Structure 1
Amino acid sequence: MKNLIDKLCRERALSAEEYKALLLCRDAEVLEHLQRRAQEETLARFGNRVFIRGLIEITNRCRNNCYYCGIRKENRNVVRYELTQEEILECCREGYPLGFRTFVLQGGEAPELKDDRITETVAAIRREFPDCAITLSLGEKTHEAYERFFHAGANRYLLRHETHNEAHYRQLHPGSKRGNDRSGMSLQHRLQCLDWLKEIGYQTGTGIMVGSPHQTIDHLVEDILFIGQFRPEMIGIGPFIPHHDTPFASAPPGSMQLTLKLLSIFRLMHPAALIPSTTALATLAPDGRERGILAGANVVMPNLSPPAQREKYSLYDHKASMGAEAAEGLQLLEEKLRSIGYEISKERGDYRILDETINHKSYNV
């Protein structure tokens, strides 16, 4: 099995059968070898730097009814909110002196949040913070809307496909889009959106939930093969965590070990990718963020949202948003990263720049 890992390091790809064998492997020595190789690859590319992004959760309004999500449209127990442009800019103004040079605007697919307002907000951030990168994670939009956001100044867009298996996708999302009906969702349309984003010129991110209900190892192999073919600049993966106000309230959370294994696999497949150690990892275990970094992640996203609104953006239960997960807890985050031999980088960390300036300095972590 170690030979498969070494082959992945050399060739950046395996067959479907080889990926499945690696995912099913539970040998501790093999898993340690996988993580070590992924860590070595990350250190060779980025040194011991971990890039920070300021996460701003701009609205919890959503037109979708994804069965796993706490802010789904039919959850009547959510107190809805929507940040104004000035509130979003104020979050950026608080983050910039702390060293944030990437702002991530994340929100539900809200029909009330008109595309022109997003365009105006992106343009306002670009004018006030011209040296910063702007990442959007606002779901499925039209090709025209994506173009408008891009020309207004957005650099990156994250749209996780969640699963590449059509039948599994239908088990996680309601309905299909027909005509002007936007109440349903389809995998085909989501993949079309990802193609549009790359075509327009975004640094594009996709990813999956690990351990989502009805997910199988074969589904994960499909996801790996798709990500290998799509070659995203960003890869966002995290464990599924249930929310009490969803149809999947009683489902078990995803596996930490399997999530870390996939994170290492993706690092070896895409050495220059920007891969976050997600809030979901930090929610699942107190040291989850650090374990993600040691498995090959190179990005963390402290929360810059107004503290009064953070609990309302409840995608899953017990979502971490304070302490080292918060922008105001940056010193605590620095201490935690330093304890495992890493340090915060306050650079923008653009994928293409990093891909062209590989750093082969040796680090002992």
Structure 2
Amino acid sequence: MTKSIEQILQQDQFTKDDIIRLLQSKNEDEKALFAKSSETKLKYVGRNVHFRGLVEFSNICKKDCLYCGIRASNSAVNRYDIADEEILKAAKFAYENKYGSLVLQSGERSDQKFIDRIEKLLKEIKKVSNNELGITISIGEQTKETYQKWFDAGAHRYLLRIESSNKELYNKIHPKNEDHSHETRLKCLKYLQEIGYQTGTGVMIGIPFQTYDDLANDLLFMQKFDIDMVGMGPFIEHDQTPMYQYKDQLMSLNDRFRLTLKMIAVLRIMMKDINIASATALQAIDPLGREKALRIGANIIMPNITPTTERANYLLYQNKPCIDEGADDCTNCMEARINMADGVIGYGEWGDSQHFRKRQNK
């Protein structure tokens, strides 16, 4: 006998088939899913929403991911690398505006000059914030030694998206060479956990060739890997990438949006006390996209505090919102969004993953 959505939602554990049913839910069933995830969020992480001031400090990248607008082969991109003083100014802004935390994100590099620069920057950010600003970094695959160096310098959270837990699908959206290896990505996630980072990952939702089976496996992968934080958003195609040729095979943007909300909702029920980010890409599809994600399970939001002159050049996908707002505008906008989503801003707090803290205390 087929289980109803209500019966599935009463369970403590979901099978892959259960997850697929939830991801395919519509109308009243979808409402039931969102009600359950919202209730789970309030019970386990509360109404607090934490800011992560996002600084996309460089779009120079050695990788050539087939879906990404700043891939190395895209000669149409205006490359930039923000000066250290500008990054520190953004960190000071985050600190003075009580964001609690900062995210440093860039294209991927692993040359010694870059590694040393990040180490120095991390120490400087700690200095200008009296050691009070939490730091997340998202700078791709590195050696364990590099991750350790950055951890020792002050970073304590790291986001490295798996992009897909299905190796075959991963290989379809990346070039076939040793610089783009699914095994390396998994190994790096393991290194981050071993060092003691709060470890985050995520997937793109609605990419070409992806199935509901893949997405269900992605959620089960995150649960099995015991991840602390997740950032996942809808795939939005970019016309200067090889994947653009498959645009006619994609589900509609609205369907990708709804599916992303369902992925967030199901994951919140599965992993009750992790941090889940409300992705900027949601707002690229729906003006209220980020609020909707906060209502049904997300508890992290990332105001973009990259100096405005360079924001338009960090386009992983097209129609990215907020590229012409200053940091103050972005803060005011985020506050309004969180209030609309009935959230409370955790000013001045790191907003660490409760999941991570519990695991550390075991």
| TM-score, scaled to structure 1 | 0.90
Match of 1:362 in 2: none
Match of 2:269 in 1: 268
Match of 1:148 in 2: 149
Match of 2:159 in 1: 158
Shift of 1:240: 0.1
2:97 aligned with 1:98: yes
2:347 aligned with 1:348: no
2:10 aligned with 1:15: no
Match of 2:8 in 1: 4
Deviations 1:217-240 (A, max 9, x none): 111122111111011110111000
1:91 partner letter: A
2:228–2:356 Cα contact (<8 Å) kept: no
Q: How do 1:1-365 and structure 2 match up within 5 A?
A: 1-7=5-11, 11=12, 13-26=13-26, 28-111=27-110, 114-129=114-129, 130-177=131-178, 184-250=179-245, 251=247, 252=250, 253=253, 255-322=256-323, 326-346=327-347, 347-352=349-354
1:348 partner letter: W
Deviations 1:182-235 (A, max 9, x none): xx3011100000000000000000010000111111111221111110111101
- CA–CA separation in structure 1 for the residues paired with 2:354 and 2:334: 26
Runs of 4+ in 1 over 4 A off after TM superposition: 322-327, 353-356
Match of 1:180 in 2: none
Match of 1:181 in 2: none
Point out the more displaced range, 219-228 or 300-309.
219-228
Shift of 1:339: 2.5
- CA–CA separation in structure 2 for the residues paired with 1:297 and 1:111: 31
Look up the SS of the partner of 1:51 in the other structure.
strand
Deviations 1:96-147 (A, max 9, x none): 2222110100011135662111111111112222011110000000010000
1:134–1:154 Cα contact (<8 Å) kept: yes
From the superposition, tell whether residues 325 and 233 of structure 1 become closer, same or farther in structure 2 (CA, over 3 Å): farther
Point out the more displaced range, 343-352 or 62-71.
343-352
Point out the more displaced range, 60-69 or 79-88.
79-88
1:77 partner letter: A
- The alignment covers a number of residue pairs equal to 345
From the superposition, tell whether residues 278 and 324 of structure 1 become closer, same or farther in structure 2 (CA, over 3 Å): farther
CA RMSD of aligned residues (A): 1.8
Point out the more displaced range, 333-342 or 215-224.
333-342
1:54–1:304 Cα contact (<8 Å) kept: yes
Look up the SS of the partner of 1:157 in the other structure.
strand
From the superposition, tell whether residues 5 and 68 of structure 1 become closer, same or farther in structure 2 (CA, over 3 Å): same
- CA–CA separation in structure 2 for the residues paired with 1:327 and 1:147: 34
Look up the SS of the partner of 2:231 in the other structure.
strand
- CA–CA separation in structure 1 for the residues paired with 2:341 and 2:147: 39
1:2 partner letter: E
Shift of 1:53: 0.6
Point out the more displaced range, 194-203 or 283-292.
283-292
Point out the more displaced range, 251-260 or 81-90.
251-260
2:312–2:324 Cα contact (<8 Å) kept: no
- CA–CA separation in structure 2 for the residues paired with 1:241 and 1:68: 9
- CA–CA separation in structure 2 for the residues paired with 1:258 and 1:142: 34
Match of 1:363 in 2: none
1:161–1:206 Cα contact (<8 Å) kept: yes
Look up the SS of the partner of 2:21 in the other structure.
helix
1:325–1:333 Cα contact (<8 Å) kept: no
| TM-score, scaled to structure 2 | 0.91
Point out the more displaced range, 122-131 or 64-73.
122-131
- CA–CA separation in structure 2 for the residues paired with 1:216 and 1:291: 24
2:169–2:210 Cα contact (<8 Å) kept: yes
2:53–2:102 Cα contact (<8 Å) kept: yes
Identity of aligned residues (%): 37
- CA–CA separation in structure 2 for the residues paired with 1:48 and 1:133: 20
The answer for unaligned runs of 5 or more in structure 2 is none
Look up the SS of the partner of 1:57 in the other structure.
strand
